[in-house]
Amino acid sequence: MRQYTAWIAVTLLVLLSFLVSQFCPDLLRYDREALLSGEVWRLLTAHFSHLSFAHMGLNLAALALTAYVARPGRSVGYHFCLWLWLCLFTGAGLLAGAPDLYFYVGLSGALHGALIIYIADSPFYSRLVRRLVVVIVIGKIFWEQSPWFDDMSNAGFIGGRTETRSHLLGVVAGLIWVGVEYIRSIYEREKRSLDR
The one-letter amino acid at 92:
A
CB under 8 A, 24+ apart: contacts of 118-121: 118/66, 118/69, 118/70, 118/71, 119/69, 120/178, 120/181, 121/70, 121/71, 121/178, 121/181
Does position 30 have pLDDT exceeding 80, yes or no?
yes
Distance CA 154, CA 68 (A): 25
- Of 30-39, 69-78, 86-95, 114-123, minimum mean pLDDT range: 69-78
Does position 108 have pLDDT exceeding 90, yes or no?
yes
Res 20: pLDDT? 94
Res 1: pLDDT? 52
The DSSP string of the chain is -GGGHHHHHHHHHHHHHHHHHHH-TTSSSEEHHHHHTT-TTHHHHTTT--SSHHHHHHHHHHHHHHHHHSPTT--HHHHHHHHHHHHHHHHHHHHHH-TT--EE--SHHHHHHHHHHHHHT-TTS-HHHHHHHHHHHHHHHHHHHSTT--TTTTHHHHSS---HHHHHHHHHHHHHHHHHHHHHHHHHHHHHHHH-
The DSSP string of 81-103 is HHHHHHHHHHHHHHHHH-TT--E
pLDDT bucket at 196, cuts 50 / 70 / 90 = low
Q: How many residues are there in the chain?
A: 196
pTM of the complete model: 0.92
- Where b means 16+ CB within 10 Å and e means fewer, 21-45 reads beeeeebbbbbbebbeeeeeebbbb
Q: What's the mean pLDDT when you consider all of the chain?
A: 93
Does position 188 have pLDDT exceeding 90, yes or no?
no
**pLDDT tens by residue, 112-133:** 999 999 999 999 999 999 999 9
Does position 191 have pLDDT exceeding 80, yes or no?
no
